[in-house]
C-alpha cells in the first residue's frame, strides 16, 4: 500500500487521530488535512466559554491538537480555509430552513458539500489517491454500510453523499468500536485520547442555541396554543427554537400532562402543542421526501428508514413519483418533521436519503405541520 496516498480529514478529535494511525499501520502514505470552516473570531461566539483556556478559539484549539497528533505519529498536516464555502452551502441553508419553520440537519449538508466535495478536491491537489475520515461507517463492495459500533454508526449523516463521492473513500473506524478507538489513542499517548467528543452544530460546536441564533435571525415571541382545546397556554420565544416532538423548553403551567410541540403557524406566529406523548397529533403515516440521493443502484420499494439519528429503523413502503420525489408510507411514526432527513436502509446497507417536504396522515397533508 506504500504507493497509495490517503488524505485524512484531521479534526483535532480522537476519531480522526486513530483513523490516521490505522491507515499508517496499514502501509499507506498518510497526509493530514485540517479544515477551517467557521470563523469564531469574527462572530465573537466563543468568548467567555468556561471550557476554554485564555479564550482560544475552539477551531484553533482543534488545529493545535491535530498538529500535535500529526507530529506524534509522523505525518504532515496541511490546513485549508473553507469558511466561505461552509457559509454559502451549509450555514445559509441552516438559517433558510429555520426561517421556514423546518428542522434542518447541517451536518448532513456539511458532508455533502464540504467534507466529500471541497475537501476531496483539495486532497486531490495534495496527491491523494483516497480520502479518509473518522466517521463510523463502512464501504464494502461499493456499498455504504453501517459500522460495527451500532451505537456510533454515522451513515445517517452520510445519506446525501453521492456514489461518485464515495468511490475513493476509506472509513478506517468501520470495524471497531469507540472503546477500542480510545484504547488505541491512549496506547500511542495522543493528546486527543481523552478529549471530549464534539457536539452541537457541525464545525460550530456547542453553543447556547438561543443566544447564538440571535446573531443571525430575529426572534419574535408568540402564543403557545393547545391544538385540541385552542387554549392559549403561554408564550414561545421564537418558532425557530422548537422542533416537532420537543418537550423541554416549553414555559407553560396549569397542566399536569406533558406537553409536546406538534406544529407551527408561521403566518400567525403560533406554536401548537398537544398533551401526552402518545397523542394522535404527533403521529403520521406517510410523507413526501424531496432532494433524494441514492448512492447505489438498489431501488427497492420496501425497506427501512430513519427520520432521526437515534431513532430505531421503521419499516417503510416507497413509491417513486414522476417529479423525482418519493412518497414514503409507514405505520404511525411519531414526530416526523419537515426539513428532517429521511434515510433509507436495506439491512446494513445505507441506500441514501432525502429531506422530508411534507407530512401526511390518511393521505392528507397535516395542516399544522407547515
Cα 39 vs. chain centroid, distance in angstroms?
Answer: 20
Query: What is the CATH number assigned to the segment(s) 219-275?
Result: 2.30.30.280
- Determine the 3-state secondary structure of 150 from DSSP: coil
Please, are residues 20 and 109 in contact by the beta-carbon 8 Å criterion?
Answer: no
- Within 13 A of 180's CA, how many CA atoms are on the CB side? 13
Instruction: Give this prediction's pTM.
Output: 0.92
For 50, the grid coordinates are 468556561
Question: What local confidence, expressed as pLDDT, does residue 263 receive?
Answer: 96
Question: What local confidence, expressed as pLDDT, does residue 42 receive?
Answer: 60
Question: What local confidence, expressed as pLDDT, does residue 300 receive?
Answer: 96
Q: Give, in order, the Cα–Cα distances in Å from 355 to each of 105, 285, 324, 327.
A: 9, 16, 12, 12
**Torsions phi, psi for 11 (to 5 deg):** -95, -10
Q: What angle do CA 97, 100, 105 make, to 5 degrees?
A: 25
Question: What local confidence, expressed as pLDDT, does residue 52 receive?
Answer: 44
Enzyme catalytic residues: 110, 202
353, β-bridge pairs = 293, 343
Question: What local confidence, expressed as pLDDT, does residue 160 receive?
Answer: 98
Domain ranges within the chain, ordered by starting residue: 5-209, 219-275, 283-365
Phi-psi region of 236 (alpha: psi -120 to 50; beta: other; left: phi over 0): beta
For 179, the grid coordinates are 472503546
Question: What local confidence, expressed as pLDDT, does residue 198 receive?
Answer: 77
The third-level CATH classification (topology) of the domain covering 283-365 is: Elongation Factor Tu (Ef-tu); domain 3 (2.40.30)
Query: Of 2.40.100.10, 3.30.930.10, 3.40.50.300, 3.40.50.620, which CATH number belongs to 5-209?
Result: 3.40.50.620
One-character DSSP codes across 181-241 = HHHHHHHTT-TTTTPPPP-SBTTTBS--HHHHHHTTS----EEEEETTT--EEEEES-GGG
Question: What local confidence, expressed as pLDDT, does residue 38 receive?
Answer: 86
Question: What local confidence, expressed as pLDDT, does residue 370 receive?
Answer: 79
Tell me the pLDDT of the chain (370 aa) as tens digits.
Answer: 568 999 999 999 999 999 999 999 999 999 999 999 987 666 555 444 444 444 567 778 899 999 999 999 999 999 999 999 999 999 999 999 999 999 999 999 999 999 999 999 999 999 999 999 999 999 999 999 999 999 999 999 999 999 999 999 999 999 999 999 999 999 999 999 999 887 666 656 556 777 888 889 988 999 999 999 999 999 999 999 999 999 988 877 666 578 999 999 999 999 999 999 899 999 999 999 999 999 999 999 999 999 999 999 999 999 999 999 999 999 999 999 999 999 999 999 999 999 999 999 999 999 998 7
Question: What local confidence, expressed as pLDDT, does residue 253 receive?
Answer: 66
Q: Do domains 5-209 and 283-365 have the same CATH topology?
A: no
Amino acid at each position: 500500500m506504500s504507493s497509495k496516498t490517503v488524505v485524512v480529514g484531521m479534526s483535532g478529535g480522537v476519531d480522526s487521530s486513530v483513523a490516521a494511525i490505522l491507515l499508517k499501520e496499514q502501509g499507506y502514505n498518510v497526509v493530514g488535512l485540517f479544515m477551517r470552516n467557521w470563523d469564531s473570531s469574527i462572530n465573537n461566539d466563543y468568548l467567555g466559554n468556561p471550557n476554554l483556556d485564555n479564550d482560544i478559539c475552539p477551531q484553533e484549539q482543534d488545529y493545535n491538537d491535530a498538529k500535535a497528533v500529526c507530529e506524534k505519529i509522523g505525518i504532515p498536516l496541511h490546513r485549508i480555509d473553507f469558511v466561505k464555502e461552509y457559509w454559502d452551502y451549509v450555514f445559509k441553508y441552516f438559517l433558510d430552513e429555520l426561517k421556514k419553520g423546518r428542522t434542518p440537519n447541517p451536518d448532513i449538508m456539511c458532508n455533502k458539500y464540504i467534507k466529500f466535495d471541497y475537501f476531496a478536491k483539495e486532497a486531490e491537489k495534495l496527491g491523494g489517491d483516497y480520502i479518509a475520515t473518522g466517521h463510523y461507517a463502512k464501504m464494502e463492495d461499493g456499498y455504504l454500510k453501517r459500522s460495527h459500533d451500532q451505537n456510533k454508526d454515522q451513515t445517517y449523516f452520510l445519506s446525501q453523499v453521492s456514489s461518485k463521492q464515495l468511490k475513493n473513500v476509506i472509513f478506517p473506524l468501520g470495524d471497531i468500536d469507540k472503546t477500542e478507538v480510545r484504547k488505541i489513542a491512549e496506547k500511542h499517548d495522543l493528546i486527543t485520547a481523552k478529549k471530549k467528543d464534539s457536539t452541537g452544530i457541525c464545525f460550530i460546536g456547542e453553543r447556547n442555541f438561543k443566544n447564538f441564533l440571535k446573531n443571525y435571525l430575529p426572534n419574535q415571541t408568540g402564543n403557545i396554543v393547545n391544538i385540541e382545546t385552542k387554549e392559549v397556554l403561554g408564550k414561545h420565544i421564537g418558532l425557530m427554537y422548537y422542533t416537532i416532538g420537543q418537550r423541554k423548553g416549553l414555559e407553560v403551567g396549569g397542566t399536569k400532562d406533558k406537553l409536546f410541540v406538534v406544529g407551527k403557524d408561521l403566518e400567525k406566529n403560533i406554536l401548537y402543542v398537544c398533551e401526552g406523548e402518545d397523542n394522535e397529533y404527533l403521529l403520521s403515516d406517510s410523507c413526501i421526501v424531496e432532494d433524494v440521493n441514492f448512492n447505489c443502484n438498489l431501488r427497492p420499494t420496501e425497506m427501512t428508514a430513519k427520520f432521526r439519528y437515534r431513532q430505531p429503523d421503521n419499516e417503510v413502503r416507497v413509491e417513486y413519483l414522476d417529479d423525482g420525489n418519493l412518497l414514503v408510507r409507514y405505520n404511525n411514526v411519531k414526530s416526523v418533521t419537515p426539513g428532517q432527513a429521511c434515510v433509507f436502509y436495506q439491512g446494513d446497507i445505507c441506500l441514501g436519503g432525502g429531506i422530508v417536504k411534507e407530512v401526511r396522515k390518511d393521505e392528507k397533508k397535516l395542516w399544522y405541520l407547515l
